[in-house]
Every structure is written in structure tokens, then in C-alpha cells.
Structure 1
Amino acid sequence: MVSLFASAIMTRFGPKDYALIAATGLICGVLSALLWRGFSAFYGSLCVSAILFYYFRIRVLRILIVGWCVGQAWVWFYSQWMVELNVSPQCLNTPLTVQAKVRDFVDEYPGFNETVVQRAELDITRVSLPACAALERIRVYYTGPRTLRLGDRIDGQVILRSERGFANFSSDNRKAQAVALQRLAGGRLEFVHSQRKAYRGFDHWRYRLSQTIANQAGLSDTAKGVIGALVVADKRSIPPLFQQLSLRLGVGHLLVISGLHIALVAGFASIVARALLRPLCWIVAYRVRQYLGDGLVFAAALGYALMAGWSLPTQRAVLALCFWLLAKNLGRDGQPLRLFWWALTLCLLINPLTGLLPAFWLSFGAVFMVLISSAIVGRFEGPRAYVLTHVAICVAMWPASLVFFGQASLVSIPANMLAVPVAGLWLVPLSLLGALAGSLGAMTVSALLWSWAAWPLGLAESLLDSAWLEMGVWQSTLSIAFALLLSALWLLLLTPLRLAWRFIVLVVMGLMLSYRPMSDSTDRARFWVFDVGQGSAMLLQVAERSVLFDLAGGLPGSVYHFDYTAAPILRGLDISAVDTLVLSHEDFDHVGGFYSPNFNFGWRRLVSPSGEGERAQLCRPGRVEQWAQGVSLHWLSGGADTSLSSDNDTSCVLKVNAYGYSVLFMADVGKVKERDLVSYWRNELEADILIVGHHGSDTSSSATLLKWVKPRYAVISAGFNNAFGHPNPAVMKRLDSSRATILNTAQTGALRFEWGRNEELRWLATRTHWARFWQDNYSP
């Protein structure tokens, strides 16, 4: 039976490779099922598959269809019966007593009022409420006096809320990760009643090695961070500038423990096992020694993967090693691409929701590109083959880099040609040998090895301020489907095609790369309200000009929501600069993105209450700007005023009229200022779209204001389950009385309104039009 199994999955590709064809169908079925809007799509898929199976008489297609159906059925069964997609409401917003273990390194951030915020992921072992027994893993924030560390077992009290992220004209990536990792809730760790340190096991040794590396006085901060990342997957100490450098050079993959590291450990373990087992050649059969040696190799690789946190790349490498050892011991051919394909299949069988993780696409996608590129350029030899392999791989990975990181660079080709051998032959081996020496107590040896390993990192640090790194860098965003097609066309171009087909492929790639979103005509307007949590960020495109109103919030000095919510959409729209940037007032939840080190959008003018900054202007009440026929901006309020009781009342209030419709931006002004606006502007306040003041706080949106605005749509930009209770029930009641359609980004995700001179106003909600069965959707 085992031999038949090996024959089915380990032999070379052939015209009747039915096992591989079925696996391919299963993979496609699983990944496509993750796009379902609801489980009812499963039954429709089965009906279509049955029809195709009946009409197609070709055996290969029938096997592919069967694999497809099995993959879709597995996602349906797994999601319905084997995992939870949502946490019980009884577990939310109520104190829970839990017993848990800290599962990974604890991140620290500067908080408000000089506090230190610790972010930890906990594995739940016991919870006080029986209805919450399904909770397996949570993410918590802690500001108390205790210091949490990897492996700690704690008893404490938590207040949880459902894990949900931002949805900006794509699916909710944070919810996707929560479902795939079964981390369905997060919140605050209020108290820690007791704390027990880990003194044995993988967590203990992992933490101990991390501390040993951090205490090396002879290493720079960069060297400590990189060596920690390579040994125990602790990237906390890598300076942000060096992380940006690795991203810019396209060598960030070398800082993630993956197949390269597992292969080095397995190779070293193989040498040691051979040396240890050689004296047994007279008393133990060769086959037994081979099994023992392979067992030691697998144990070493598995142990290192567990020491590294058992991440998805290490899981992939361990699975591939397992299949290779199985093929070797059964006398079968372990072809690399086939081993990869079965590792991918097994990974999706273990957890089909893994396909929702960016790490899945980056890890498996990168290895697939490496294998295909190596096979394509295999007809070349020597330095030419080495150069062409790196060119093929880097170019094939550019689309993925644009999808997940928003940038790609020509510099990545020479950088990888140099960095890959340096990392594989010098940095990684010396780092791992240093870790082994440190684990055995030879601290002097480990310090020496780590100092040698750090040598090339000093050269890399000298490149931080190099202007040439900016050359050949472009920023944009792509959809996964668009990126996959581009990569496939590039790899197809490398194959020995006829000249005519090469020309066609080049033309298609050229058209795809030259594609730019069509700019709105002078008779159309488009208004975006981004989902940025408890904050504000909006974009209005009209008359071939643009207004960017506010830049979201986050956590000062560490987290900037604008970077991964609004910024990718702006790049996708090919917007690198806006005509008018409005910072309504100085609260961080409105201007946070402006202080992000990644903010690189230009502006023709900046409008704010203070009028400070490059090309800045004051909000001058009463100023009217005519942008085009039927398009005008009316500045209704704003400007620094020490007589006002609140900084919120200094907010810029703007009304935009465009082609028969209007938008009123109220920022955070309170009821007193609203009363002043009503007494002065009266009917001028009437608007079709009202951006509700102060995120729906009861300090704003008075009945008097709503009476004069008469909004058709009341848009609230608020965070899901936020700590302020926004929107306030009293405000919701007043908005409902005004007969406005209420749209809250916490429920709808990002919104897009479109209209034209001769077109009616229409709108799209992300959580309706990009609905998925595994996320929180919105039904109007």
C-alpha cells in the first residue's frame, strides 16, 4: 500500500499523472471557495461541476473537476463543522477570567501619557464562561506593571471584542487572518492575577536565545535584530530604517525563517547523524541506519521549526522535507516541483483557510516561482544560469511585491544576486552555529561566531542613505488576480516559444503594465470615505482635481492607519499628489498619517486651522472657490481661535457642490459651533451627503443642524466597537428622525459615492460588494 502511494505521488510528471491532476483541482477548488459570498455558493458550484462532468468525456478534465468539487466540499465542511467563524456575543464586552500562555514574543509600543503598551498573543487554556470555551487564541493589549514574556502562563482578566479589521474595497484582511489562525477575538488584558515563567521546553529556549542575542554588547542593534530573526524569528529589534532598506532591496525574504534555514539545519543534522551512526555499521543493518539517520534529520528540522515559532514558511519546508525523505526511503524520485505541490496540497487539507493569509501567497508563491524559474533557465550553465535565474525570480515576484508591499524595484535583482549567497553561505550558518554554541554554554564561541556573521550587515547599514536605492523603484497596488496573470505571462515568456507567440505575450504584458485608471471626466465626481477605524480620511475627485480631507489616526510613533487603508487605494488610482490636502484640526485621529514616515503624497496646497506647513493656507470662512462649471468649494468655518472652549470647534468645515449634489464635511465641531453655523449660513448648509460630526458623538449633530442640512445620506466614520461608544444612540435617533440613510463605516466598510452632471447619485459599500462568507458583511 505504501509503495502504491509513493508511486502515485512521487514519480515524475507524465501524461497520465492523475494524482497530480486531482491535487491541482483540489487546490483550485479550495482557493476559489474562499471567494464565496455565502455558503449557498457551494450548492451552485456542485451543480455546475456536475453538468461539466457529464458533458466532458476527457478523463483529465473529469479528474480535475472531481478534485475541484472535493476542494470546495472540504472548505464547506471545514468552515461549517471544524472551526468557528465568529465568537459568541456572550464573550464580548464583558470581564472574563482566563488562564492562558503567551505564545510568541511580546511587542512593546509607546502609549498615551508616557505609558508602555504590551501586545501579546495568548493561547487560552481555560475561560470562566462556558459559552466561550471555543476561544483558542486571542490578541490582547496590556498597560499594567507586569512584564509579559514568551512562554509565561498567566491568570488574568480580559475584556474582548470581535477581531475585525478595515475593509477598503477589498476583503477584510485582518478578519481573514483571525479566521485562518482562529484568533477570533482581541481586547484588553485588564489585570494579571498571577504569572508563571517558562523554565523548560521550546518557549524557554527560544526566549533564552533571544535574550542572549540581545545582550551581546559587541553587536549593533541591526545585527542583534537580524540574528534574532534568523535564529528564533524575533524581528522586534530590527530598526525600522533597516526593515525599509530590506524591503526596498527586495531581500526581506532572507529575514524570514523558511526553506533555506530548514535545509541548512537538515544538512548539518545529516552530517552529524552519519558520523554518529557510522560506528554501528557492524551491528546494525544499513537500512535501519538509514531510517535512524533520516529520523534524526527530520527531528532536527522539526525542532528548529518549533523553535522558530512554527510559522507557515517553516511548515511548508518541513512538509517538503517529509515528502522527500519518504520518497528517498521508498526508492522513488522526489522531484522538487512535485514535492512542493504535495506540500501545498497537504497544507490546504490541514487548514483550507490558510489560503487567506498573505504569508501563504508569499511563501508558496515565492517557492513556486523559484522552482519554475530554475526549470526554465535550466538549459543554461555557469554564471549565465545564475544571473538568469535571479532575473527570472525577481521579475516574477515583482507583482507579488506590489500586491503586498505596494512597491517593487529594479535594484532587487543585483541585491538578491549578492545577498542570497552571502546569507546562505555566511550569515545564516554562522548565526545558527552561534546559537548552537550558546545553547551548549560556549558563550565565547557564540559571541565570536555572531560577530563574524554581523560583518556583512555593517556594509548593508552603510547603504541606508544611498540615493541610488531610489532609482528604479515604483509604487503601486495590484489585485492578486492581476499579479498572478503578470507573473504567469513573464514565466511563459521565458519558455522556448515561437517568435510570434513571444510578441503576443510582450504586447499583453505591455498593455497590462501601461494600464492606468481612467481619470474622471469633467462631468463626473467620485467621493471616497475610507474605513480607517476611529478617525477620518476621505477623498473627493471632481473636475480632474482632488481633495484629500484628513489622514486617519493610529498610535503616535508606531501605528498609522492611513498607510494600509487609504494609501494603497490612492496608489491604485495613480494618485501621487492631490490638489488640496485638508487637515481639519490637530487631533491625531484626523492627522496621524501626515506624521507617518511612509507618507509620500504631495499637495498643491495644505489647508488647516493653523495655516502652518509647506504651501499652507488658513481655513477662511466665507471663501468660495469655483473649480469648474457646477463645481465649487465653500469654506464655512475654521481657524485658530483662543476664545473657543474646544479645539474641535477650530475644525475646518467645508461644503463642496458638484453637478447638482453636495457634500458637507463637519469634522469635529460641537453643538455650540453648529448653532453659529446655522445662524449665519442657514440654507447654505443643505447637503446630500453629510459627514457626521465627531464620529457620531453626542457633542455634535444637533437637531437644529440636521433640520437645516436635510441630508439624504449621513456618513459616520467610526471604529468598530470603539471605546467611546460612537455613534451615540441619541445621535442615531436624531439622524433617523431626519430620514437620512445612515451609513457607518464600522458596519459598511469604506464607501464610494459616484455621480455626474447627468447621472444620479449611487454608492457602493465594501462589506456588501466585497462580501465573503468568513467576514462580517453588511446588508443595506
Structure 2
Amino acid sequence: MVAGVRIGVLWPLCMMLLMALLWRPRKKALLLAAVAYTAGVWQLQWAISQQLPSNLEGQTLRFEAQVVALPQTVHEYRFGRWRWRQTLLLEVWGNNLWPGRHRLRVNYYAPPAPLHAGERGQIALKLRSGRGQYNLAGPDLARRDLAQGIHARGSVQQWRGVSQGDGFLRWREQLANTLAASLQGSPVGASVVPALIVGDRSRLTTQQWQVFQSTGAAHLLAISGLHIALVAGLAGWLGRWCLMPFCQYIAPALRRYTLQQLAWCPALLAAVGYSAMAGFSLPTLRAVTMLAVVAISSCLRQPLSLWRSLAVALGVVLLVFPLSALSESLWLSFGAVAAIGWLAMGQGSRRLIVLLPVMMSVLGAVLFEQWSLSAPLANILLIPLYSFLVIPLALCGALTGSSVLLQGAATGIELSSWLMEGLAGAVIVPGVPLPGALAGACVIVALAVLMVPAVPFPRRLLPLFLVPWLAQRPAPLPHGEWELTVFDVGQGLALAVRTREHLLLYDTGSSWPGGSMAASIVVPWLNRWGQVPDRIVVSHGDNDHAGGLEAILPVMGDSPVVISGEPERVANSVPCHAGQNWRWDGVRFRVLWPRRGDGNAHGNDASCVLHVEGGSLSLLLPGDITRESEYPLLGHWPQSDLVVLAHHGSRSSTSAAFLRETSPEWAIASAGYRHHFGHPHAQVLERLRASGVTVLRTDESGMIVFRRGDADNVPLITKWRQNYARPWHQPAGWRFW
């Protein structure tokens, strides 16, 4: 079933049926595997068919709607002013163009009055598919939305309330507000306690969230298997030694069951109750399902081994939530339990506390592309602190309304915040690659074998398991050749030029409160290959080009080299001006614009224009310059095989005279999918078509890699959405291949 959900094509099914015909002793098992695979493919295709049809993107649609999760309300500075923004999870229905009930993730900008959980109304929405960006590294929003059952994203154009929020959802929101109000004296506690109790993370500041992420402790804020298991274990212990003996005393019929069997009743009730407080999120439901499998086997006196229990629990979870096979959190939770069981077979509890975070940091690096030296140490300190102090005190304080218990939990949180701030500096190791799927699996196997002495494997051969990880480097380029990688960063620009031994970054994409394109896409790409940029060129100071610089500077070490056409707007940079040049591995880099001392160059027209020439191919990077900067260089523009379109393909750039002088064969436009600016502009595309230029677009192709081929000097162009497309990047449809 996992293979069917993740692969989504039919040729493996044909292989299974053929093997069933040829291998009769295993006929039943192979036919069962074929049925499970078909069920996985069917679930995947059905879920894709529920996504927003492409012909409705950008239209304003009207629905009946209900807020089905706690709203996330933030006060942000955008477009020159402060405004409120709510992020809502809605269930909508009642539109004939898109029939059925659908779940949507939407933003409500500057609402007249904040919406509350459970509130119903009539709504006008402008929707788009959860397409996101698609790169070698970084999040795949389409897969994430599919796993979470979200059918589209968009923004609220109009809301007319029908009924106020009430019931359990409203109670959860009021509880979060009450908890935050009772902890006003502890800003960190007021932000974290509602997240631990009801899953409300809207009060976490950008700095707080980044500290949790950088130390590998963000999982502590997500109510999942650790929290559910802790609450169930505490309730089961209390039930076994306090509640159940009393129940046996007043109800003698219960004496036919052991106290251990009876203790599962309060344990499961507590787990379900905590899951309800968290809004029955998928991670909590998966954890409850795992506990229920173990409880049923215990109560039926059919003991299961750890591995069989995990297998049964995984099977039940996939039958109930088949698309959770696409979720990283599923494999992290099952991987954590498997790692605990494996290590416990050969180690005592003391060494387990030390060894488990090491194993989980490798697994987290594979699943979430975050490499942190501080993660093992932070988890060694924080998991016991949260498990035995913070979460029990917070839960008891929330249920009893005791401010003393809540203040105790807040004190533990403040201690953890102090520890994490001290550890946050050791985030990444420059030059050490992030392990991919294969390399990570090999490292985890090597650690498991090393830590369990009972495994009969020669320890001197374990370093061989590190070879896939240490060999995880991009293919070396010949002397004098270059390779261009244009990242899919939406409406912005970020690209990398690699030579044999050096790497240049040109622009860094946009940023926003709490994140940036560089942090989510460029830095994971650098970490995946173990690359350290030798130099960064930031064309000018606009956010869509310079916003991600702060996320990349820590990767470069103590003396980063940054040049920019607007050094006054780009921190830690030096001026870029015409005449600067350098050579790397036989590749020549020349700055063409702006001219030194030209006071007229500012804004877009101050962009640092860079020409790259090596071997048989040349590249021109013009930033955001307009025709006003193109015309002064007429007669001096070098011929270029490849041009990255200025200003994302705006009609204010890429004049006919510019194209005549540069005479490119290819052009790349870095632009957002269905962005309201409409880049690249139709007039520019027509001008390029008339000049015989082949246009590549990141909004259509995702990340683009361009380099010279080995045969006949024909360029090799990799378009990520075409060459590495997955089923959820395409319309629903049964496909053989």
C-alpha cells in the first residue's frame, strides 16, 4: 500500500500478477500484495481528483464555510504597513463549479473582526492549487497538502458570518486564550503552553520558532506520539496502582482481569482526550491507533513482539489514513519507536538516552533536511525536561486551573529556552553533506549495528556504510566548464553557478516574517551536497533578490564575500561595479554594470550585471535592470548563449536591441506561478519567440539545471517538474508508466 501511494503507476501491479502466475507456492501472498498496491494507487488517484481543478485557479468562488481548526493570527509588516493576518483551515461546500466538501488552507488579510474556531459563514475565496515550489531540496507543498487532506489554498475576499463559533472547537480556543492570559508574566510560557495543550502555536514569535527549529527540538511543540505516549503512560500507571484496585473492590466481576489489562482503559481514555484537545490531528490519531493495537493485544492476552506490533499498527494506520504514507511525521514516529526497541535490545536505559538522539538526528536530517550539531545534545536535555516536568505540569494546570502548576511549567519552558539559545549557534557543519535517503539508511544501519553488540557483524567493516554519505557530491566538472542551477523560489531569483572547485550564488530569493526561500530551499541544497559558497552576488536590495541573505551567511563561515549593486541596502556587502572580474577553474566572471560613480543607477537599475564565460558556453545575469540600463551598454553587450531574463521577464526589460546584441539561444524566467504581476510578460515572450530564443520558466518547470553536455556540446537541461515529476504534480489519472 505504501508503494502504491508513493509510486502511483500500474506496471508494478502487472509484475505482481505475472509473478503470481509463475510462482504458484506464493500465489496468495502475491495476489494480496497486488490488492494492497491497487488500493494504494486508487487512494492516491482519488485524493488527487479532489484537488482544485486548474480551470478554477484565480477565480473568485463562493461557498458555505466553517472554520475547523484554531485560527493562527499574526501581526505583520507587509507592503509598508502593519496589518493583521489570519491563517484558517476551512471546510467548504455549496459551489456548483466545484461540488462536494473540501478542506482549504486560506489567509484572511486585515479582517474587520477576527474569526473564531467553529464559526460558520458565507465566503468568497480566490483559490489556487497547493503547487508550491519544486526543487532538489526543500519542501514539496503539493505532497504535504495531499497527505494532510488539503485540497487548495487561497485568500478570503469576503466573509459574511452566519453563526458564531461554539462547541468543542470554541472551547479549545477559549482554553488557549485563558492559558496565555494566566502566563502573561512569562512571554515564552504564554507562547509554548497553549501549543503543548491544544496545539495553538499562533503566539510563538519568529525568534522562538527559529530557536526550536535550529536545535532540532521543534517536534516538542507538535502534539504527537511523544506527548500521547507520555499522557497514556501516566494515566495507565495511576490507573494500575490507584483507580483499578478500587474498581475491582466495588465491582468484583472485574477481578477476572489483571490490573495491567484494566489499566489500559484509563490510558486509552487519556490518550483519546489529549488527542481531542489537540483537535484530533493526524499525528495524534496515529499515536492513539498504535496504542490501541498494543492495548488490544494485551487485553486479549495475545502478546506481540515489538516488530509485529509495529507492523500491525502501521497496517492499521495505513488502512485508516492511507495518504499518511506521504507524511514525514509518520516515518519519524515509527522510526523513533523502532530505534528505541532496537537499541533497548542491547543497551541499558542510561545509554539509550544518549544513543537515541543521535539516531533520531540522522533520521531527522533525512526526512526534514535539517542538519544540526546541537540536536542530539538538545534532545538529551529537553526530552526528559518536557516529559517529566513541563508537559505533566502544564496538563494538570490546564485541567485544574491551577496557576501555580502553570507557572511551574512556564519555568521549565524558560529553562529550556535558555538552554536552546546557548546551543543554537551550532546549527550546521559547513562542507559536511546532508545524508540523502540511501546514505541516511546506511548511516542508521551502521549506528544500529555499532550500538547493539549482539548483532554478528564485523565492526571493522562498519566504515564502509559511510561511503554513500561521504561520496555524496555533485559530479565534477571539466576545467573551464560551468553549471547553472536556477532555483524555483516563486516570484524572486536565486541561482548558483558551479565550476570545478568553486561555487557562486547570485541572489537569494525573498523572505517573510519567520522564514525565507533561502532557508527552505537554497540552504538545504547546499547542505545536501556539502557545498560552501565562495562568493555571493546580490544584484540589488529588493526583498525578492536579497531577502534570504541572512540565512546563507552562517553557511559561509567567518569571512563571507558579498558584493551588491546596492551595498547601502544589503548588509555585509561591498560595492559591485563594472570592471570587477575574476577567474575560477578556467571560467571568467565579469561585472558589466553599474559603472563606478554613476549616481543615476539606483533601485532595479543598480543591479549588478554579471557575465560568465567558460568553454563553449556563456551566461548573462542582468538582475532587474530596465531598458534605461540596457541602452547605455549597447555596443558593449557580450554575446551570450544563455540569459536569465531581467526583472523576471517584465516588459520594462529585455528590449529588442538588447536581444540583437546578446543573441541568446536560451532564456530563463524565474517567476511565480500565476502571480498577479503576470511575469514573464506576453510581449517579452513574443519578442523572444520572434528572435528564435527557447524560453525556460521556473513556474512551469520548477528548478532548472543547465550545463554543457559531453556529446556534441549540446546543453543538458534538467527541468525538475518534467524530469522528476511525481503523481501529485499531475492531474489525476491512471497511468501505466
TM-score, length-scaled by structure 1 = 0.84
Matched, 1:656 2:612: yes
Query: Which residues in structure 2 correspond to 1:127-206 (within 5 Å)?
Result: 127-133=94-100, 135-169=102-136, 173-194=140-161, 196-201=163-168, 203-206=169-172
Output the amino acid matched with 2:653.
S
Match of 1:728 in 2: 681
Identity %: 27
Task: Tell me if the contact between 1:46 and 1:69 (Cα under 8 Å) persists in the aligned partners.
Answer: yes
Q: 1:598-646: per-residue Cα shift (whole Å, max 9, x none)?
A: 85435653221234567744332244444454634242446785545x7
Matched, 1:31 2:2: yes
Task: Tell me if the contact between 2:539 and 2:566 (Cα under 8 Å) persists in the aligned partners.
Answer: no
**Matched residues in 2 for 1:638 and 1:277: separation?**
87
Query: Which residues in structure 2 correspond to 1:218-617 (within 5 Å)?
Result: 219-267=185-233, 269=235, 271=238, 274=244, 277-278=247-248, 280-281=250-251, 297-377=267-347, 385-409=348-372, 411-438=374-401, 446-466=402-422, 470=426, 476-496=433-453, 501-509=458-466, 512-513=469-470, 515-517=472-474, 519-555=476-512, 557-578=513-534, 580-596=535-551, 600-602=555-557, 605-612=561-568, 616-617=573-574
Matched, 1:745 2:698: yes
Query: Which of 717, 720, 731 pairs up with 1:766?
Result: 720
**Matched residues in 2 for 1:609 and 1:171: separation?**
28
Q: What secondary structure is seen at the aligned counterpart in 2 of 1:685? A: coil
Aligned residues: 721
Output the amino acid matched with 2:673.
F
Output the amino acid matched with 1:393.
L
Q: 1:33-74: per-residue Cα shift (whole Å, max 9, x none)?
A: 3453xx5x31x2123223444555765xx6664454233211
**Matched residues in 1 for 2:100 and 2:598: separation?**
54
**Structure 1 residues 708 and 33, CA gap change in structure 2 (3 angstroms):** farther
**Matched residues in 1 for 2:91 and 2:540: separation?**
42
RMSD: 3.2
> For structure 1, which segment, 165-174 or 447-456, has the greater mean C-alpha deviation from structure 2 after superposition?
165-174
Output the amino acid matched with 1:137.
L
Output the amino acid matched with 1:619.
C
Q: 1:393-424: per-residue Cα shift (whole Å, max 9, x none)?
A: 22222322223444445654454444333322
Match of 1:707 in 2: 660
**Structure 1 residues 238 and 634, CA gap change in structure 2 (3 angstroms):** closer
Q: 1:79-124: per-residue Cα shift (whole Å, max 9, x none)?
A: 3346526312343211112222223333325122223242423332
Match of 2:89 in 1: 122
Task: Tell me if the contact between 2:197 and 2:394 (Cα under 8 Å) persists in the aligned partners.
Answer: yes
Q: 1:304-332: per-residue Cα shift (whole Å, max 9, x none)?
A: 20211222331122102222232233222
**Structure 1 residues 516 and 537, CA gap change in structure 2 (3 angstroms):** same
**Structure 1 residues 626 and 220, CA gap change in structure 2 (3 angstroms):** same
**Matched residues in 2 for 1:292 and 1:398: separation?**
36
Q: What secondary structure is seen at the aligned counterpart in 1 of 2:563? A: strand
> For structure 1, which segment, 591-600 or 100-109, has the greater mean C-alpha deviation from structure 2 after superposition?
591-600
Task: Tell me if the contact between 1:627 and 1:633 (Cα under 8 Å) persists in the aligned partners.
Answer: no
Q: CA deviation at 1:214?
A: 0.9
**Matched residues in 2 for 1:276 and 1:112: separation?**
64
Task: Tell me if the contact between 1:407 and 1:476 (Cα under 8 Å) persists in the aligned partners.
Answer: no
**Structure 1 residues 34 and 280, CA gap change in structure 2 (3 angstroms):** same
Output the amino acid matched with 1:558.
G
Task: Tell me if the contact between 2:67 and 2:117 (Cα under 8 Å) persists in the aligned partners.
Answer: yes
Q: CA deviation at 1:664?
A: 1.0
**Matched residues in 1 for 2:3 and 2:137: separation?**
16
**Structure 1 residues 732 and 514, CA gap change in structure 2 (3 angstroms):** closer
Query: Which of 106, 112, 115 pairs up with 2:71?
Result: 106
Query: Which residues in structure 2 correspond to 1:641-680 (within 5 Å)?
Result: 642-643=599-600, 647-678=603-634, 680=635
Output the amino acid matched with 2:446.
L
**Structure 1 residues 776 and 695, CA gap change in structure 2 (3 angstroms):** farther
Task: Tell me if the contact between 1:166 and 1:174 (Cα under 8 Å) persists in the aligned partners.
Answer: yes
**Matched residues in 2 for 1:295 and 1:468: separation?**
41
Q: CA deviation at 1:149?
A: 3.1
Q: CA deviation at 1:698?
A: 1.4
Output the amino acid matched with 2:671.
A
Output the amino acid matched with 1:76.
V
Match of 2:54 in 1: 89
Output the amino acid matched with 2:723.
H
**Matched residues in 2 for 1:373 and 1:626: separation?**
52
Q: What secondary structure is seen at the aligned counterpart in 2 of 1:753? A: strand
**Matched residues in 2 for 1:163 and 1:169: separation?**
18
Q: 1:667-705: per-residue Cα shift (whole Å, max 9, x none)?
A: 111123222332x41xx3321111111111111122222
**Structure 1 residues 698 and 109, CA gap change in structure 2 (3 angstroms):** farther
**Structure 1 residues 331 and 242, CA gap change in structure 2 (3 angstroms):** same
Q: 1:239-259: per-residue Cα shift (whole Å, max 9, x none)?
A: 444444444544433333223
**Structure 1 residues 715 and 82, CA gap change in structure 2 (3 angstroms):** closer
**Matched residues in 1 for 2:680 and 2:550: separation?**
27
Q: What secondary structure is seen at the aligned counterpart in 1 of 2:489? A: coil
Task: Tell me if the contact between 1:562 and 1:593 (Cα under 8 Å) persists in the aligned partners.
Answer: yes
> For structure 1, which segment, 203-212 or 262-271, has the greater mean C-alpha deviation from structure 2 after superposition?
262-271
Match of 1:22 in 2: none
Q: CA deviation at 1:552?
A: 0.3
Output the amino acid matched with 2:722.
T
- What runs of 5+ residues in structure 2 fail to find an aligned partner? 732-737
Task: Tell me if the contact between 1:390 and 1:413 (Cα under 8 Å) persists in the aligned partners.
Answer: no
Q: What secondary structure is seen at the aligned counterpart in 2 of 1:524? A: coil
Match of 1:10 in 2: none
**Structure 1 residues 332 and 756, CA gap change in structure 2 (3 angstroms):** closer
Task: Tell me if the contact between 1:104 and 1:120 (Cα under 8 Å) persists in the aligned partners.
Answer: no
**Matched residues in 2 for 1:389 and 1:635: separation?**
59
Task: Tell me if the contact between 2:509 and 2:545 (Cα under 8 Å) persists in the aligned partners.
Answer: yes
Task: Tell me if the contact between 2:69 and 2:88 (Cα under 8 Å) persists in the aligned partners.
Answer: yes
Task: Tell me if the contact between 1:370 and 1:393 (Cα under 8 Å) persists in the aligned partners.
Answer: yes
Task: Tell me if the contact between 2:183 and 2:406 (Cα under 8 Å) persists in the aligned partners.
Answer: no
Match of 1:71 in 2: 36
Output the amino acid matched with 2:52.
V
Q: 1:335-357: per-residue Cα shift (whole Å, max 9, x none)?
A: 44433322211222223322222
Q: What secondary structure is seen at the aligned counterpart in 2 of 1:154? A: strand
> For structure 1, which segment, 368-377 or 598-607, has the greater mean C-alpha deviation from structure 2 after superposition?
598-607
